[in-house]
Amino acid sequence: MSQGSQGLKARLFRVQPVDQAADFANNPDGLKRSITFMGLLMLSVGSIVGTGIFVILGEAVPIAGPAVVLSFVLAGITCAFSALSYAELASTIPVSGSSYSYTYATMGELVAWVCGWCLMLMYGVSVAAVAVGWSQYITEFLHLIGIDLTGPLMNAPDSGGIINLPAIIVVGLALILLTRGASESTKVNTILVIVKIAILLMFCVIAFTAFNAGNFEPFMPMGIAGVTGAAGLVFFSFIGFDTAATAGAEAKNPKRDLPRAIIAALIVVTLLYVLVVVAAIGAQPWQAFEGTGGEAALSKILADIVPSAWPSIVLSVGAVISIFSVVLAVMYGQTRILFAMSKDGLLPSVFRKVTPKRQIPLMNTIIVAVIIMLLAGFFPLGPLASATSIGTLFVFGLVNVGVIVLRKKRPDLNRGFTVPGFPVVPALGILTCAILFFRMDVETWIVFAVWMVIGFAVYFAYGFRRSKLADAPDTKTPTEAGKSIPK
């Protein structure tokens, strides 16, 4: 290999020293450490429990029958492998960048950029899609109470509208809260999460009054194939457990609280999902879910049990609150990832500038909100939104690889949490992510490929030359860095 090739390889795979990341965590460029364990837990739960549980049942139950309960458990276990890896890395490298920062410290700059670029797809585009969903739910809720908001300013372009004004409004509301500061945002998010969990529990209480154990027979009419097929579908109802990791630089006690929040969020959500599914199938034969949307299915169950319209109205309120809390939490996560990438020089400095009074990246937050408003208000997201799933699986896979690499390179590091069953658990995380990754359809693959080509163009045009590691005299590849560490 030529000297020039060796130099290019060293630059592409230069790693950010873990000690440097730890130093940043102790002095995070002005970000205020104000988020407690409960705030971190609610941040993750708020990101997970959104449209998924309201819309997924109508699609998943016909695939697996009553055994869809096992599908949710299987999806939760699949996420648990990656959640444990996130917990270890979050307790070791407690910074704002989440998986982007973890891959930078383990596999080098190019891999970190790819991870960060996927996170932009995972967070930014998905929150625009969620905002469009919020628009649909708020329109349906207002219709239930006699207010009709249909028209060219209320629908997405792919539904005959000109501009989706409600979607823009919900992003604007989240922007207002986020500019109040991290502590204030997490307090509001905590209230919203408690309300939406209470509404789902209300559904369970009402549904259990009509529980019929016979609805679970036969339990597995579609066999194992149905269970696994539905698991692949409901897996995406669990996305968001990693959001707490983006708050590493603003957590009061990150080494202790981050891993606890990530794992606890996944446990809470899995139990809640299973409870809702058991209640729903117990109250209605699984065949009746065929051809219904998720929210329609839950509303129909309540309407059959309670003739009054108020349970359906309350459920619609729950959907509106759920989706808004997702917009709030995911927008927060996106701004902190961009903050970390800007800190490393891979994005312009405007994304890392912090206001002295509220100690938040204000311009970063405004730019993110404006871009999401444009996406949600004027564009049919379609294939681009579906590509968020493939980007998420790619990121999860990298995090599992990162745990294995960092254990080998830096066994001496102080870890607040360690993955049990190492290396089997992260290996299973890689395997399960790969299985779902390669089951994506061709259209999603094409969109993902186009997104990555754009990402590489941006990196080589800007980040490659402006990286803060570019002038480091001892730039090393991950392998070379590992060899220099005393055992």
| pLDDT tens digits along 230-288 | 887 787 778 888 888 888 778 888 888 989 999 999 999 999 999 999 999 999 999 88
Cα→Cα distances 257→21, 253, 260, Å = 18, 6, 5
For residues 454-479, give the mean pLDDT: 78
Q: For 158-162, 312-316, 373-377, which range has the lowest pLDDT when averaged over its residues?
A: 158-162
pLDDT at 65 (0 to 100): 93
- Residue 7 belongs to some domain of the structure: no
The better pLDDT of the pair 185, 211 is held by 211
How would you class 323 by CB atoms within 10 Å of its CB: exposed for 0-12, middle for 13-18, buried for 19 or more? buried
- Residue 5 belongs to some domain of the structure: no
pLDDT at 313 (0 to 100): 82
Tell me which residue range forms the domain holding 437: 34-480
Q: List pLDDT tens digits, range 411-437.
A: 888 888 999 999 999 999 999 888 878
Structure tokens at 481: 């860095």
- Residue 3 belongs to some domain of the structure: no
The better pLDDT of the pair 320, 100 is held by 100
pLDDT at 20 (0 to 100): 61
HSE (side-chain half, CA atoms, 13 Å) at 360: 21
Instruction: Determine contact, residues 170/375, Cβ cutoff 8 Å.
Output: no
Residue 479 clears pLDDT 60, i.e. is over it:
no
**pLDDT confidence bin for 114, thresholds 50/70/90:** very high
Q: Please give the single-letter amino acid code of residue 255.
A: K
**pLDDT confidence bin for 32, thresholds 50/70/90:** confident
Instruction: Specify the DSSP element, H or E, that contains 149.
Output: none
- Residue 254 belongs to some domain of the structure: yes
Q: Please give the single-letter amino acid code of residue 30.
A: G
Structure-derived torsion over alpha carbons of residues 118, 120, 122, 128, reported in degrees to the nearest 10? -150
Task: Give the span between the Cα atoms of 389 and 397, in whole angstroms.
Answer: 12
Task: Give the span between the Cα atoms of 482 and 311, in whole angstroms.
Answer: 59
Counting the structural domains of the chain, the total is 1
**pLDDT confidence bin for 192, thresholds 50/70/90:** confident
- Residue 12 belongs to some domain of the structure: no
How many other C-beta atoms lie within 10 A of the C-beta of residue 374?
13
- Residue 25 belongs to some domain of the structure: no
For 284, the 3-state DSSP assignment is coil
Average pLDDT, the chain: 82
For residues 178-190, give the mean pLDDT: 84
CB within 8 Å of 143: residues ≥ 6 apart: 149
pLDDT at 22 (0 to 100): 55
The better pLDDT of the pair 212, 388 is held by 212
For 35, the 3-state DSSP assignment is strand
Percent of the chain with pLDDT over 70: 85
pLDDT at 485 (0 to 100): 34
Residue 471 clears pLDDT 70, i.e. is over it:
no
Q: What is the largest CA-CA distance in the chain?
A: 77
3-class SS string, 349-398: HHHCCCCCCCCCCHHHHHHHHHHHHHHHHHCCCHHHHHHHHHHHHHHHHH
- Residue 27 belongs to some domain of the structure: no
**pLDDT confidence bin for 16, thresholds 50/70/90:** confident
CB within 8 Å of 46: residues ≥ 6 apart: 189, 190, 192, 193, 240, 243, 325, 326, 328, 329
Q: What is the CATH number of the domain that holds 100?
A: 1.20.1740.10
pLDDT at 482 (0 to 100): 44
Question: Could you tell me how far CA 157 lies from the centroid of its own chain?
Answer: 26
For residues 150-166, give the mean pLDDT: 64
The better pLDDT of the pair 312, 144 is held by 312
Residue 6 clears pLDDT 90, i.e. is over it:
no
